Structure 1
């Protein structure tokens, strides 16, 4: 028995010598068994039924050597980083680190390679013994159950598990820096983006390694890069050790390149350039990392390319998302950027992020009191055009711009700004849209016709579309229709245009209406002829006024009615068809009153049963002002002419006396006198006492052809919108009085519903919200025309 044990001991000694490489002095006596001795030893173990322990012992020994010797040696190479982490960055990241990394990987590779022959010997023993299987006991079949490839995989798996059990954070950061510098060196030494030679020569240092050109170490970096990759690949550790670092570097450089190339530049399309750079510089570099020629490598590169392309589209979308407000404002110059963004948006899932981001930008930068309504409208129109490029379905536009539409609805001057832009003489967006002549398309009057639908090209709305909106409203390209749909009705716009047209006709004092007729015809195509009949009458009044003035100022009329004491032309308006005019009190000079009366008689003789009601405070007076040393010509309002007229009667007037003869309140009169004071023609001698300056003051030179601008407060001859609205609300007052007389007391909800039923239908007014009605009734309560108690309104008792 002892002899058998001794024989087994010798056999095991041979096996242990063959399957445990000499990593240190522990097993370095120079004896290496031959293959024949090893085979004989294993056969002996087979005869005793214990050959299977060879494989188990080999892997246990491998794990012990890795844990105690090989892995600690590998990490010991990087101990210098602990001291250098807080010092000079070159200590951690420079060429010293590259050499250390290369030496560490080389040593790991050489140490681990000592075990590969052991795996080969195990496989050879298995094949030899398998051939002799018939002569061996059945236990011999338990010697080796795994193939060589399985053995090799297990060996590499053990190495990977023990080496990567705990990776220092600093090592991961430095590995990222190593691959980042390798990528920069790759771009410099193998320029796929065509670095200009003269550009590199002009630089004092290499952009990759950041050393001066004479000490450039890019070649060394690339050599180190190739060696490290090759060793890690042979150890089956490349993906495990460097995979995350390579991917991180690729993502960072994609982000940097997109930012550097595209940020702030909207006029050019950059996606082809970005894709070329990705396929060239970046993917070629990654192919050099994973250089192989087998099918697994091809699949890996295809997956990497797909991931990098997707990340490129996401990065571009994110960059443009932050700039989308500026891109919209600069449209159409920024159309190329929008087309690129459209392509990327279709390949990513960032659509909802873009909608949220742009909506927040619009609310933050547009929808506040500091922005003019005209600027908000300009931005909104640009958004309509730009977002149609980005999303032809119109869903993004609808979702993003809904807060803008709600905000514009709350602004009092929105309708006036829109109508003014429609009839602007310049090359405005809305004026050019009006020239297209298409009819309005509003949600409430659109009925889809199956014959108008091209079913072959029909596309469903995106999943985020509002199901309560019609498809046509999403896809409509008519800007004017979209602006009108903010209010849902054409009435407000027609009414505002009537006011604007009246203001233009009565402010310019010109009988040439060719331009206004052209705009009116275009607006008829949009809003319909019946809606704009009032405006046709207004323009006809202007033409009739010109003809009547010619007739009244004829020689016969002058002889019969003494019209010609001074030239007088009138704008004769049909009261029922013109908007409400501004009302002011003004007593004109007697000579002017007589001239107006003579014109009135001539008109009555001409028209028979019609007469004139003069608005003496409106109009334009052309007068020559003869002073002591000069004569000046002015075109001013009637109140300014009346003020200076009275100074020819006497040179000094107190404010109270002048107010009495002109019947103008003193506060308003002082503002009007300030115009003549500005010109140096009147001077305030004492408090509220004004005198005429016959001689030109030395401090200024007055020339009738160069005069200060007249004050802007009389820029409009129409009543303010607030005054007009107050007049409309007074129409409802008689209805309210009748309700309360017959029914006693009523809550505001009942009053409002009855007004909607009986007073607002066909009244020609724009209606009245319950909030506006409450303000109106509360004002009547303050005027003691109503009594409010317990939520009910009633008339006061007599």
Structure 2
């Protein structure tokens, strides 16, 4: 046979099977027939090659290397066949080869199912889509082995099967991974996937290079598959990691139930190079789904806490957490209610996660200043940070040791912010509920001392001591009152006597109490003076709680309301009809505040607006006759001033110091002003002011033209100096 015959007969005969598109049912048969014909036609060439080698052995010299000669002829023949027949392949041939191996893969998987003795077998065979009684998977595998054996003899197996087999395997691995772990994060899948890859994919590849179907893979087959095995495992881990990365936001939200999925992902990240993709994908998911005004701050904090726990599983060094959660921390810093939400979560029984963190016996550091390399455990084996770690001094030890509360505090980089917020929240809880039982608050205070230190929380300790002292004081004054007067009609007063310098700023509201109530307060003050020796009380009449019992014509109401609400209703027992202007005159309250307070009584049906700003007491109401009703004050206003008002008051105190300094020293730079304020004006709790806050405040005074800034120095205008 000649080279001309390859051009004119062998190649046209082979490609005649793939001139046009084939239906799927014919592809497997056409591939089998075309390879069988090609093997038959090329066998004559290989036979001629063997004969030529034998002839050469007789005519050549004794030192002639026959093996090299045969290998050289074989390689030239291979090159000739590939150049003439497979120099360019046709699309229909590629499709047919892909379908051929696809059918063989399905048949192989079905045969493994039979070996696994699956009891839930469907009535039709998944390998060939025929009825079980008409299954043709064995015939398919027989043809599959025959074709591969023929291609192997022709040294064309890798040449023709490489692209379709690689494409098929990648597609099947991707489909199997996505189908296996769609939305279930509670079960580890990686070991099962690796087992599937070993038995179904690697086993099928070994069958491609093996001549005996049931005898197991030969050593030659294993040697042929070995170079591809590591690549297949890498691809499996890559696909699985990419799938889980796309689901990572939901995995974090469902933590700790989703910890098995995180453990699998951690294993895959160690074998792939997808950390950068994970950081970018998760940051995008957090910014898109979490960091926008439509999400409550409490929900953002809950997700952030879950992210801390989950990312610690993926990367105990904390580097991933730093890279991913920086947008979350930045967003939370710009939310006004973040600090209050964090502090509320720390001392609310409803948030078990943060409560568990708070009661830990060995709390972590609260900021970088609390940890150094010398403080780390000496017995631990040092490990370097990943290459994508942020290079900050001592950051490694802090990242590894910081707990959840430490990371929440470090959002602001200062524990003073949280201590001040806790102080305000504690005051609000005490003055809103007016409960003298402080056991629960003392427990939380002792736990917080372990985190923030006793010095920082000294004011809070004094506040709780004030409550306990007030309880004893009320008991003593009440006993004296009963012994001296015995007046049962007098209004009983229980006071909360507070040390003003240790408490946050109170909400201010002007009101004049009824004479009867004011008389009881004055009497309480007199008793206090006797007990404390010339010390007196400064009452906050708008704060507190008044227990009322109101007898109407058809019912009795028992209420617990604020003194302002009680004062309004008190005047309606003098006369049944009042206008807003009249009430404003006797209570000395602004009209707009009165209307808001009167709305509470309107909502409970006791007052009715007859005309604009004119209200009437309703002593009879249909459907509520002859029984008591218990009502609560729905308007639970905070007893403390808003954070904005408190901050403004603190800055006004600082401004008085600044005016004094500039009056004496004429001009000062910003850093000198700040250092002097820290020395003289920032001693008490809640009086801290950063240099950035001070600069904003002083620049505002410059805009108001009460301060001059020139050449880096601040000074007062001449008329004010």
5 Å matches for 1:95-494? 95-130=25-60, 147-191=69-113, 194=116, 196-201=118-123, 205-210=124-129, 217-291=136-210, 297-441=221-365, 442-449=367-374, 452-454=377-379, 457-470=381-394, 471-494=396-419
Q: Displacement of 1:320 after TM fit?
A: 0.7
Preserved contact between residue 185 and residue 222 of structure 1 (Cα < 8 Å) = yes
CA distance in 1, matches of 2:164, 2:393: 49
CA distance in 1, matches of 2:177, 2:592: 64
Q: Displacement of 1:539 after TM fit?
A: 0.9
Tell me the secondary structure at the aligned position of residue 18 of structure 2: coil
Preserved contact between residue 640 and residue 673 of structure 1 (Cα < 8 Å) = yes
Change (3 A) 1:755 1:371: farther
Residue 654 (structure 1) aligned with residue 579 (structure 2): yes
5 Å matches for 1:693-704? 693-697=618-622, 704=628
Provide the residue aligned with 2:596 in structure 1.
671
Q: Displacement of 1:95 after TM fit?
A: 2.0
5 Å matches for 1:25-64? 61-62=2-3, 64=4
Preserved contact between residue 576 and residue 616 of structure 2 (Cα < 8 Å) = yes
Change (3 A) 1:788 1:200: same
Q: Displacement of 1:246 after TM fit?
A: 1.1
Provide the residue aligned with 1:549 in structure 2.
474
Provide the residue aligned with 1:495 in structure 2.
420
5 Å matches for 1:553-568? 553-556=478-481, 559=484, 565-568=490-493
Change (3 A) 1:674 1:789: farther
Q: Displacement of 1:161 after TM fit?
A: 2.8
Q: Displacement of 1:727 after TM fit?
A: 0.6
1:60-85 per-residue CA deviation (whole Å, 9 max, x = no partner) reads: x32x322332122211211231xxxx
Q: Displacement of 1:580 after TM fit?
A: 0.9
CA distance in 2, matches of 1:796, 1:407: 43
Provide the residue aligned with 1:638 in structure 2.
563
Change (3 A) 1:280 1:702: farther
Q: Displacement of 1:766 after TM fit?
A: 2.1
CA distance in 2, matches of 1:227, 1:197: 31
Change (3 A) 1:660 1:164: farther
Q: Displacement of 1:628 after TM fit?
A: 1.3
CA distance in 1, matches of 2:707, 2:414: 33
Preserved contact between residue 31 and residue 100 of structure 2 (Cα < 8 Å) = no
CA distance in 1, matches of 2:127, 2:629: 70
Preserved contact between residue 191 and residue 281 of structure 1 (Cα < 8 Å) = no
Change (3 A) 1:706 1:776: farther
CA distance in 1, matches of 2:557, 2:31: 94
Tell me the secondary structure at the aligned position of residue 625 of structure 1: strand
Preserved contact between residue 561 and residue 601 of structure 1 (Cα < 8 Å) = no
Provide the residue aligned with 1:80 in structure 2.
20
Change (3 A) 1:703 1:721: farther
CA distance in 2, matches of 1:391, 1:73: 60
Q: Displacement of 1:625 after TM fit?
A: 1.0
Tell me the secondary structure at the aligned position of residue 633 of structure 1: strand
Q: Displacement of 1:711 after TM fit?
A: 3.6
Preserved contact between residue 554 and residue 625 of structure 2 (Cα < 8 Å) = no
Tell me the secondary structure at the aligned position of residue 225 of structure 1: helix
Moved more, 384-393 or 607-616: 384-393
Indicate which of 530, 540, 546 corresponds to 2:455. Answer: 530
1:698-737 per-residue CA deviation (whole Å, 9 max, x = no partner) reads: 5x78975454x6444x431111100100011001212333
CA distance in 2, matches of 1:564, 1:690: 29
Provide the residue aligned with 1:726 in structure 2.
648
Change (3 A) 1:722 1:558: farther
Indicate which of 506, 524, 531 corresponds to 1:599. Answer: 524
Larger RCO (alpha carbons 8 Å, 6+ apart): 2
Structure 1 unaligned regions, length at least 5: 1-19, 21-60, 82-90, 135-140
Provide the residue aligned with 1:3 in structure 2.
none
1:736-768 per-residue CA deviation (whole Å, 9 max, x = no partner) reads: 333554676x7xxx6532331211344442214
CA distance in 1, matches of 2:485, 2:578: 38
Indicate which of 684, 698, 701 corresponds to 2:609. Answer: 684
Residue 621 (structure 1) aligned with residue 540 (structure 2): no
Preserved contact between residue 577 and residue 614 of structure 2 (Cα < 8 Å) = yes
CA distance in 2, matches of 1:145, 1:106: 28
Q: Displacement of 1:262 after TM fit?
A: 1.3
CA distance in 2, matches of 1:796, 1:697: 72
Provide the residue aligned with 1:735 in structure 2.
657
CA distance in 2, matches of 1:147, 1:179: 36
Change (3 A) 1:241 1:646: same
Change (3 A) 1:781 1:250: closer
Structure 2 unaligned regions, length at least 5: 212-216
Moved more, 609-618 or 377-386: 377-386
1:365-399 per-residue CA deviation (whole Å, 9 max, x = no partner) reads: 22222222211211111111111111112211122
1:437-471 per-residue CA deviation (whole Å, 9 max, x = no partner) reads: 3345121232322783226x222222222221422
Tell me the secondary structure at the aligned position of residue 557 of structure 2: strand
Aligned residues: 708
Change (3 A) 1:194 1:669: farther
Q: CA RMSD in A?
A: 2.8
Tell me the secondary structure at the aligned position of residue 462 of structure 2: helix
CA distance in 2, matches of 1:303, 1:704: 87
Change (3 A) 1:356 1:229: same
Tell me the secondary structure at the aligned position of residue 293 of structure 2: coil
CA distance in 2, matches of 1:701, 1:628: 9
Preserved contact between residue 354 and residue 405 of structure 2 (Cα < 8 Å) = yes
Provide the residue aligned with 2:510 in structure 1.
585
CA distance in 2, matches of 1:677, 1:459: 68
Q: Displacement of 1:190 after TM fit?
A: 2.9
Change (3 A) 1:669 1:751: farther
Change (3 A) 1:770 1:434: closer
Residue 756 (structure 1) aligned with residue 674 (structure 2): yes
1:109-154 per-residue CA deviation (whole Å, 9 max, x = no partner) reads: 11111222211221122122237x99xxxxxx99x99623332332
1:202-239 per-residue CA deviation (whole Å, 9 max, x = no partner) reads: xxx54344456676554443343233222222221111
Preserved contact between residue 145 and residue 210 of structure 2 (Cα < 8 Å) = no
Preserved contact between residue 563 and residue 595 of structure 1 (Cα < 8 Å) = no
Moved more, 437-446 or 377-386: 437-446
CA distance in 2, matches of 1:98, 1:214: 21
Preserved contact between residue 98 and residue 224 of structure 1 (Cα < 8 Å) = no
